[in-house]
Amino acid sequence: MRAGRPTLWRNDTMHDLVLRGGTVYDGLGGPGAAADVAVTGDRVVAVGADLGPARREIDVTGLAVAPGFIDAHSHSDPVPLLPEPQPFKLFQGVTTEIVGNCGFSFAPLDAATIEATGPLFAELAGGVPVVPRDFAGYLADIAAAGPTNHIAALVGHNTLRAYANGMDERLRPGALEQMCRLADDAFAAGAVGLSSGLIYPPGSYGDTDELIALARVAHRWNRPYTTHMRNEDDRLGEALDEAIAIATQARVRLQVSHCKVAGQANHGNAKLLLAKLHEARLAGVDVRGDQYPYRAGGTFLNALLPGAAQVGGTQAMRARLADPAARAELRALAEDLTQPHGFWARVTPADVLVTTHTTRPEVTGRTLAELAGAGDAFDTLCEVLVADPGAGMVVTLMAEEDVETIMVDPLIGIGSDNGPPVGLQHPRTWGCFPRVLGEYVRERGLLTLPEAVRKMTSAIADQFGLTGRGHIGAGAVADLVVFDPATIGHDGTYAVPDVRPTGVEHVVLAGHVVVDVGRFTGERRGHVLRG
Ligand SMILES: [Zn+2]
């Protein structure tokens, strides 16, 4: 141990666990160093040589030892409530997930809000019943269920707005004040930040001032603001300006979610995105971003439609899509490239794969082009949505060159943007982190291993205020992953995504070995991390 560090152990102390013989990546970007790691209770107590005896030793010779990965951008909100423990993130080396992203938190919700937004939450819920509860109740419920990995939750703007204002476009008198009170309650309960998803109704109906007001509540609690921005294609620059303006006015840390450049006409603009982030940092905004390592995104199928489709809620959307005149109006809006919302005009039907559908499972795994056949693809889209307004899709939007440009920037961390590990989902759900380490580090040499580990650990912990996590050192929480840099990877595809990654050997969660020589112990050892 270096001089000046607190001494947390003595030579005659029996540690609970020592990982012996590995190469330690500290999570701060430091080079790999040959060292043992000693754990007692839920803490790392020493890193170095000759650390003394332990109740259990694991020989990790030839393997990398890193802080457990922190998924900056997860939609696993309901996953702890599934009947069986879900090790799909542990198998990727992820020990902590930040949930509640893109404006969709699973609380606060009341019966009326669930009624108005039901199909949207059903798509995210993976079969878990969506029930009324406040934020404290949600955190208590997932803690009682026992998450398989640690969970930290954001409170979402869409949820707050739906609660206070239904699916109306304009704010009712007092609605913003109610949203701010609900956000304050959520932060008091332990929400680690505020999220927005400004392509999704009703969040997309909110203006910049509304978001500044909510972000000011986050500021009072020293919590960050994360945003799925209002636009990620033709108006990317404007959308970044808005996000930065909100962070500047409210004086909050800013996390730009799943950084990407969507739409063929915009490919090559990754440098513009990064230049804006760096410029904002120079102006004093603590901004970073996250990214998943794929050319395709995944979201609600209804995100192809303009925001006007969903005014009044999903039943109103269904009625519009089923009515020929209203459908024609929506088609005109959807085909108008000057409209900021809905990316129908920026994709081709062959690039849209339907992944989830509650009432017509036979449409899943097929593209809109396949489903339409010789017919009209927009009509097919409308019919699929009438049958399930919350259906999900995977859609190819990005250029690989932009994916790489964004990935190498030091401000960008990793976030999977996963759905629940149920049914057909984007392969990022099962493979995001191993894919970065296998494909982008080992195969392409785009990132060094220490830098990739930093992007998955301290870069995320710092932005979300997860103190004591994201690095390996005496006193750090003992969330650890042991993997083989020579074999780590993920072979999942869009057609067969739910493949277990290779190369993750051990995962330690708050001192407990929960993946042991590649085998999940079945325990639910995760904690709820409160801000
Ligand atoms: Zn999003």
More confident residue, 298 or 155: 155
How far is ligand 1, taken at its centre, from the CA of residue 258, in Å? 7
Confidence of residue 2 (pLDDT cuts 50, 70, 90): very low
Q: How far, in Å, CA of 235 to CA of 339, rounded?
A: 10
At residue 434 the predicted structure's pLDDT band, cuts being 50, 70 and 90, is: very high
- The pLDDT tens digits of the residues spanning 86-123 come to 999 999 999 999 999 999 999 999 999 998 887 778 87
Q: What is the pTM of this model?
A: 0.94
Which DSSP state fits 442? I
CA of 81 from ligand 1 middle (Å) equals 22
Residues 411 and 425: their CA atoms lie apart, in Å, by 28
Residue whose C-alpha is closest to residue 75's, from 167, 216, 197: 197
Distance CA 395, CA 297 (A): 5
User: What separation in Å is there between the alpha carbon of 197 and the centre of ligand 1?
Assistant: 6
**Ligand 1 midpoint to CA 297 (Å):** 9
Task: Please compute the mean of the pLDDT values over residues 246-254 and round it to a whole number.
Answer: 98
Give φ, ψ of 131 to 5 degrees: -125, 155
Distance 296 CA to ligand 1 centre (A): 13
pLDDT band at 3 (very low <50, low <70, confident <90, very high): very low
Instruction: Please give the distance, rounded to the nearest whole angstrom, from the Cα atom of residue 423 to the centre of ligand 1.
Output: 20
Q: How far is the CA of 200 from the centre of ligand 1 (A)?
A: 9
Query: Tens digits of per-residue pLDDT, 329-370?
Result: 999 999 988 776 788 988 899 999 999 998 999 999 999 999
Q: State the distance from the centre of ligand 1 to the C-alpha of 142, rounded, in angstroms.
A: 22
Cα separation of 236 and 228, whole Å? 11
- With CA atoms as reference, report the closest residue to 398 among 232, 245, 253, 525: 232
Which residues are CB-neighbours of 39 under 8 A, at least 6 positions away? 15, 16, 17, 18, 19, 45, 478, 480, 508, 511
What are the tokens at 279?
């410029």
Q: How far apart are CA 187 and CA 108, in angstroms?
A: 12
Q: Which residues of 151-185 are buried (b: 16+ CB within 10 A; e: fewer)?
A: bbbbbbbbbbbbbbbbbbeebeeebbebbbebbbb
Res 7 pLDDT > 80: no
Sign of torsion over alpha carbons 171, 184, 122, 124? positive
